[in-house]
């Protein structure tokens, strides 16, 4: 009898599953989850592996709904740990969404690769092994990202480099754990508040503050069918006076979240008092995103509005307080 723990791998594509193809230049997603485990024979030393390919795409093409289905499959797969292999481009967003929805007891670990399997120094196999060790660790959090032997919390993790194998970072917070010598070590993390899985997500736009921008794009938001807007302000959450006026109008109609285009740190709430700074914007009805990036704030708002929750502000703030 095999008494090794059971590990489920769901493949979604990404660089970890890419290979050269006949139709032209570059690599494309083509390796199945089975191909990935065949190329990482050490996985079977630590677990009984089941692999399933759910899709083979670049991660720019993943949808919120696919992440909802992924969570449901992971909840029902009766494994001791679950790994999701996908493209790194959107991993910080998919892992963040899964962390808001996933109710399973087996840890759900996202991993991928910065280099495709045929490149020198390809990192997919090592990432898969580190992800497997993490997924089977008794101390693993509900959802995390494992890349380059580091374990990151979905709230904080971001892809910070286009090509380096150490591309994934958690600014200020740092990783929540490491893998070394086949051993996993964690620092404790707070549990995430969970949401029901929505039948639909509400469309939420994300716009950035830009120097000397006339803000015409802001004028299109109310007519474009968006249910909410996230604005990435300058610095601690600031926009020009002209855009502040436009945001005041938008916030009368739909929820508007104030985040920062800066990579790390909180949006302020009570420091700067000039027009267009955070105090003015919050008085105009915007809600601060705390330390959440604009991208993640967009996903959270889209989920809350999609669920039609009565007090969207309170729901949003409940998550922000954890981050
Ligand atoms: N460059 C990406 C990756 O790391 C492509 C993608 O996100 O699918 O997988």
**In the predicted model, is pLDDT for residue 189 greater than 80?**
no
Tell me, yes or no, whether 54 and 154 share the same domain.
yes
Mutate to test the pocket of ligand 1, among 112, 116, 128 (most ligand atoms within 8 A of CB): 112
In a domain, 193, yes or no: no
CATH number of the domain to which 280 belongs: 3.40.50.40
Residue 192 has pLDDT above 80, yes or no: no
124 lines ligand 1 (CB under 6 A): no
Domain total of the chain: 2
Instruction: State the distance from the centre of ligand 1 to the C-alpha of 58, rounded, in angstroms.
Output: 6
pLDDT of residue 310: 87
194 within some domain: no
- Asked, for residue 1, whether it belongs to a domain, the answer is no
Same domain, 142 and 80: yes
29 in the same domain as 174: yes
Q: Looking at the structure, do residues 230 and 170 belong to the same domain, yes or no?
A: no
Q: Is 199 exposed, middle or buried (0-12, 13-18, 19+ CB in 10 A)?
A: exposed
Whether ligand 1 lies within 6 angstroms of the CB of 119 is answered as no
**297, 257 in Cβ contact below 8 A?**
yes
Asked if the structure places residue 111 within a domain, the reply is yes
Q: Kindly list the strands in the beta sheet with 204-208, ordered across the sheet, starting from the edge strand earlier in the chain.
A: 204-208, 228-233, 256-260, 287-288
d(CA 3, CA 254): 54
Mean pLDDT, residues 18-46: 95
Answer whether residue 239 is part of any domain.
yes
Nearest CA to ligand 1 atom 6: 87
* pLDDT band at residue 1 using 50, 70 and 90 as cut-offs: low
Are residues 26 and 171 both part of a single domain?
yes
CA of 2 to the centre of ligand 1 (A): 35
229 and 180 in one domain? no
Single pTM value for the model: 0.93
What value does the mean pLDDT of the chain take? 96
pLDDT at 80: 98
Q: Could you tell me if 182 and 275 lie in one domain?
A: no
Last residue of a domain, one of 124, 153, 186: 186
User: Is 15 labeled as catalytic in the residue annotation?
Assistant: yes
Number of the ligand 1 atom closest to the C-alpha atom of 57: 8
CATH of the domain at 127: 3.40.50.1170
- Please indicate, yes or no, if residue 265 is contained in any of the structural domains: yes
- Same-domain check for residues 172 and 237: no
- For residue 228 and ligand 1, the question of a CB distance below 6 A is answered with no
CA dist 219 and 222 (Å) reads 7
Structural domain that includes position 18: 6-186
Q: pLDDT of 155-178, one tens digit each? A: 999 999 999 999 999 998 899 999
Same domain, 212 and 180: no
Would you put residue 57 in left (φ > 0), alpha (ψ -120 to 50) or beta?
beta
Is residue 157 located within the same domain as residue 300?
no
- Domain end marker among 123, 156, 186: 186
- Mean pLDDT calculated for residue range 229-246: 98
- Higher-scoring residue by pLDDT: 140, 323: 140
Asked if 146 contacts 134 with a C-beta cutoff of 8 angstroms, the reply is: yes
State what percent of residues in the chain have pLDDT above 70: 100
User: Residue 97: phi, psi to the nearest 5?
Assistant: -65, -45
**Of 158, 186, 214, which residue constitutes the final position of a domain?**
186
Mean pLDDT of 41-47: 96
List the residue whose alpha carbon is closest to atom 7 of ligand 1: 87
The CA 237 to ligand 1 mean position distance, Å, reads 30
d(CA 173, CA 323): 10
The answer as to whether 191 is a domain residue is no
Looking at the fold, whether 230 and 119 belong to one and the same domain comes out as no
Q: Is 241 part of any domain?
A: yes
Q: Are 140 and 121 in contact (CB under 8 A)?
A: no
Is the same domain home to 160 and 252?
no
For residue range 242-284, what is the model confidence (pLDDT) as tens digits?
999 999 999 999 999 999 999 889 999 999 999 999 999 999 9
**Residue 187 — pLDDT band, cuts 50, 70, 90?**
confident
Reported as a single tens digit per residue, the pLDDT across 128-159 is: 999 999 999 999 999 999 999 999 999 999 99
Which residue from 11, 15, 18, 148 has its CB within 8 A of the most atoms of ligand 1, so it is best to mutate? 15
Kindly state if the Cβ of 89 falls inside 6 Å of ligand 1.
yes
Mean pLDDT over 71-83 rounds to: 97
């Amino acid at each position: 009898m095999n008494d090794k723990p059971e590990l489920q791998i769901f493949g979604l594509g990404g660089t970890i599953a890419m290979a050269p193809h006949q139709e032209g230049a570059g690599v494309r997603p083509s390796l199945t989850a089975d191909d990935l485990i065949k190329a990482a024979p050490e996985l079977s030393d630590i677990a009984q592996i089941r692999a399933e390919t759910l899709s083979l795409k670049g991660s720019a093409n993943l949808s919120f709904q696919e992440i909802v289905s992924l969570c449901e499959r992971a909840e029902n797969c009766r494994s001791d740990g679950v790994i999701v292999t996908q493209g790194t481009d959107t991993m910080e967003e998919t892992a963040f969404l899964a962390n808001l929805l996933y109710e399973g007891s087996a840890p759900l670990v996202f991993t991928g690769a910065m280099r495709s399997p045929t490149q020198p120094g390809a990192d997919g196999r090592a990432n898969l092994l580190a992800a497997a060790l993490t997924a089977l660790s008794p101390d693993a959090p509900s959802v995390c990202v494992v890349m380059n032997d580091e374990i990151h919390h979905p709230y904080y993790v971001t892809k910070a480099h286009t090509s380096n194998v150490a591309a994934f970072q958690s600014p200020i917070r740092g990783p929540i754990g490491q893998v070394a010598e086949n051993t996993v070590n964690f620092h404790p993390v707070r549990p995430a508040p969970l949401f029901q899985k929505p039948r639909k997500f509400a469309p939420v736009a994300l716009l950035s503050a830009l120097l000397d921008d006339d803000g015409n794009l802001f004028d299109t938001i109310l007519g474009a069918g968006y249910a909410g807007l996230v604005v990435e302000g300058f610095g601690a959450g600031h926009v020009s006076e002209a855009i502040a006026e436009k945001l005041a109008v938008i916030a009368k109609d739909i929820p508007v979240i104030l985040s920062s285009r800066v990579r790390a740190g909180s949006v302020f709430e009570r420091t700067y008092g000039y027009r267009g700074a955070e105090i003015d914007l919050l008085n105009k009805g915007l809600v601060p995103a705390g330390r959440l990036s604009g991208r993640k704030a967009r996903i959270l708002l889209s989920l809350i509005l999609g669920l039609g929750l009565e007090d969207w502000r309170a729901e949003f703030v409940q998550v922000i307080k954890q981050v």
